[in-house]
Structure 1
């Protein structure tokens, strides 16, 4: 598919964006629904078709009639609103940046426009790593090994590939940018290990040095003109990985936040930066939240809790209910999806539709359970699913064939776009339910008053359904294995 075609199908509506991202009820949303517009504009992405974020028609509302039990319906109540959207985006890792640098200039521009412009899918969140992660060509830190005082701290290595790419993305996002960073491991000596791989724990004598390391990262990046929104404390703190990793129990993370990281941010004039705890899967998230947020001295430094979707490695279903429990239990704290990707890269499966449906299912259910922001993993990988220095190759929404210089758009890119293009920062979630489990749906009202309702059909059959918005309704069909966004 050429980018001209992508631009054509994506340049379908203008979204009014806001100047600052907001969270929950701490910053008020001004948009209100005065009346439902007379018609809804519908965009669709459909398996085995040319429809990819394509305009498929306008449908007129009529007065709503009580639906029958035999009818499928989506119910939207605009009088009930919930969390405020921080944004949607993905991670610019070293791997993404190295692959980006190999692209021809015209393809680099195509890529940036596809993700970060309003003519593309309008990403505004960027995550990156504090020094290396598995999706780096090699392990590295910002200091010389053994430098407890951090006198050798330098982000020089990041300036070669990563920082230039992030700056280009930020230039397109402008004021809506939300940029945060996560460490995969402290330097080896701070764990008493020969390398950063295979877990280990931060030794108590280095707690202060490691807390200061975050502040040096923030200040160094901001000196490059890159505003840092915040950090997560540790990527996947309960997983001993064959790549960079570090283990914290809930109590250890609580005490590091309470006694070192939070006070150090405050002392260094970074008290306005947001600190996100956990940054791991939904399965154990409640224990981490209970341990940290029930401690007032720790909780005062935590903006919220981040999570991934990999709890399904056990064979279980995604634990969406745990998110709602945290939202109910700690209403002043925020939920942020910090990472998810389709594992086990296979170059013959770029167009595998179930990958995209995994994203759609997660985004709808995460948002409906109170999540304020959603961050995909690598925004770009090459034809091997890397580079990755430990062979942990994965899918990304867009891949680059570095031999031909071409970009490969997967269905996941379009499914994410059904949310990120139409649901803008500072939008508020609107009450939305489905009468059947065969259809999944969520809705948000943007600051300009437009409502975006996303509807996904994972089944192998076309489904006729009603959308009943307050006292008005429209009747639509959604094809098999399709996703639609209604704008009204």
Structure 2
């Protein structure tokens, strides 16, 4: 009898030990997008193989707090949406902003026209209207404002929106042209008032503006489309002496002001001037950057320098896109192949051509977002949300690719792989999430991790290799073996 009892106790101990081991398995939901066809697909069964590497995360060590991820409201995108059937228009807006979609949380729009407008226009067309008595955003009421308001209705959590001017009205500029030139100092006060008037006009339409970048691409863009040039000192003086005080006087001192707003390679000289003293630090809330200097270079040193210069300030990627390309229609595989080229592939100086090789569009997004996240960037904003099969429309015929391509004549919609890549970040890394420490033993995998305000953890893994990778994901002394497909992006939710 005693032997029987001992056997029963032994069996119970074995079962309990087994259950304990099962309880210590890391619980994880794995979402994957891959060249093989997964599109935000939940993966429940993994390749049966021994892990060849490990990824560990540590929530006790945190870095920047995320502001959000998203895209830009442009007149081109808004115009196209209005040419689609209501069903397809709603489908796209919900895909970007709805609770089951990408849940974009940080967005941009343009003040006055930009290269992705249908023509050139200004909200202040009357020359020498110094008090802007004729200011009007009427140009935006047909397409742009309805797009923003419908996105607001679709979004459960809401989103931030910042605005960027490509240029002041030509009459305020030294060359009196849409392209190039500088802001004439005699109009500094009027141009500062322009920002304040814009906020009021949009608020009257039911849209709250979160902030601004002072100028899109102040170094210029090759005299192609709307632009206005500043030196770092000119921009800082304008913000310190005019824009900041004007917004304060008008009760808008809480609006965010982001300086610079161009490529990362020049960051050091700009942040040195923007944060030159306590007064300039008071008015600049952060720095905006673009990615067009290179199709693969992250500029880690420059981002680190900008963070160290002002660790409490925003550091936001405000624009990136697959530029100088006509979109490929309904061929998912093209977006994973190394065929795309950017402007610099043809036009860069010979000594800079190595920065512009052929690349895979899906790789470029995944690699850049993870790389910048791991180097203090706290927000990442794509360019146009919707373009047509030509890569427009826009007045300059500056064709680019967007995550969603449409054929308005046939009322067709194509969600490219870029949409799904963006959603891996925007959907699962929410505003106020914090980047957390991670370690990966496989140098061929790109990894980042963040903990959301609700306590959930998002681990994002990019595998650009042509073979499956198997790794142990470790957290709090428990682990789970996970395999990631070749040429794939995963978001793992803990």
For 1:78, the equivalent position in structure 2 comes to 59
Report deviation, 1:58. 6.8
Which deviates more, 271-280 or 435-444? 435-444
Which of 306, 309, 318 is the aligned partner of 1:329?
309
* TM-score, normalised via structure 1 length: 0.87
Change (3 A) 1:36 1:250: farther
Q: Distance in 2 between matches of 1:233 and 1:281?
A: 15
For 1:343, the equivalent position in structure 2 comes to 323
Q: Distance in 1 between matches of 2:24 and 2:215?
A: 44
For 1:404, the equivalent position in structure 2 comes to 410
For 2:451, the equivalent position in structure 1 comes to 445
Which of 345, 353, 360 is the aligned partner of 2:366?
360
Q: Distance in 2 between matches of 1:435 and 1:261?
A: 48
Residues 404-423 of structure 1 correspond to what in structure 2 (within 5 A)? 404-423=410-429
SS at 2:398 equivalent: coil
Which of 57, 63, 66 is the aligned partner of 2:44?
57
Q: Distance in 1 between matches of 2:233 and 2:252?
A: 24
Report deviation, 1:151. 1.3
Q: Distance in 2 between matches of 1:433 and 1:370?
A: 17
Report deviation, 1:175. 4.8
Which of 134, 153, 160 is the aligned partner of 1:171?
153
For 1:40, the equivalent position in structure 2 comes to 28
Are the counterparts in 1 of residues 32 and 491 from structure 2 also a CA contact under 8 Å?
yes
Residues 103-252 of structure 1 correspond to what in structure 2 (within 5 A)? 103-146=84-127, 147-197=129-179, 199-240=180-221, 241-252=223-234
Are the counterparts in 2 of residues 135 and 386 from structure 1 also a CA contact under 8 Å?
yes
For 1:253, the equivalent position in structure 2 comes to 235
Moved over 3 A (4+): 35-38, 347-350
1:306 aligns with 2:288: yes
* RMSD, aligned α-carbons: 1.8
Report deviation, 1:176. 3.2
Report deviation, 1:184. 0.2
Are the counterparts in 2 of residues 433 and 442 from structure 1 also a CA contact under 8 Å?
no
Partner deviation per Cα, 1:319-359 (whole Å, 9 max, x = no partner): 13311222123112111110000012224366322212111
Report deviation, 1:48. 2.7
SS at 2:270 equivalent: helix
Q: Distance in 1 between matches of 2:153 and 2:300?
A: 35
Are the counterparts in 1 of residues 58 and 438 from structure 2 also a CA contact under 8 Å?
yes
Report deviation, 1:75. 2.1
Q: Distance in 1 between matches of 2:85 and 2:266?
A: 44
Q: Distance in 2 between matches of 1:368 and 1:218?
A: 33
Are the counterparts in 1 of residues 327 and 400 from structure 2 also a CA contact under 8 Å?
no
Q: Which runs of 5+ in 1 are unaligned?
A: 1-34, 60-66
Partner deviation per Cα, 1:43-68 (whole Å, 9 max, x = no partner): 1111032x100011178xxxxxxx9x
Are the counterparts in 2 of residues 383 and 402 from structure 1 also a CA contact under 8 Å?
no
SS at 2:465 equivalent: coil
Report deviation, 1:256. 0.5
Which of 438, 460, 464 is the aligned partner of 2:466?
460
Partner deviation per Cα, 1:217-245 (whole Å, 9 max, x = no partner): 01100111111100000001012431000
Are the counterparts in 2 of residues 39 and 58 from structure 1 also a CA contact under 8 Å?
no
Report deviation, 1:37. 7.6
1:425 aligns with 2:431: yes
1:287 aligns with 2:275: no
Q: Distance in 2 between matches of 1:190 and 1:151?
A: 15
Are the counterparts in 2 of residues 337 and 374 from structure 1 also a CA contact under 8 Å?
yes
Which structure: larger Rg? 2
Are the counterparts in 2 of residues 41 and 486 from structure 1 also a CA contact under 8 Å?
yes
Report deviation, 1:386. 0.6
Q: Distance in 1 between matches of 2:45 and 2:453?
A: 22
* TM-score, normalised via structure 2 length: 0.86
SS at 1:324 equivalent: helix
Report deviation, 1:367. 1.1
Which deviates more, 74-83 or 278-287? 74-83
1:393 aligns with 2:378: no
Q: Distance in 2 between matches of 1:239 and 1:260?
A: 22
Q: Distance in 2 between matches of 1:466 and 1:37?
A: 11
Q: Distance in 2 between matches of 1:379 and 1:474?
A: 36
Partner deviation per Cα, 1:191-217 (whole Å, 9 max, x = no partner): 1334312x1111111111111101100
Are the counterparts in 1 of residues 247 and 253 from structure 2 also a CA contact under 8 Å?
yes
For 1:11, the equivalent position in structure 2 comes to none
SS at 1:300 equivalent: helix
Q: Distance in 2 between matches of 1:454 and 1:332?
A: 25
Are the counterparts in 1 of residues 26 and 480 from structure 2 also a CA contact under 8 Å?
no
Q: Which runs of 5+ in 2 are unaligned?
A: 1-22, 337-359
Are the counterparts in 2 of residues 311 and 318 from structure 1 also a CA contact under 8 Å?
no
Are the counterparts in 1 of residues 271 and 309 from structure 2 also a CA contact under 8 Å?
no
- In the comparison of the two structures, how many residue pairs are matched? 441
SS at 1:311 equivalent: coil
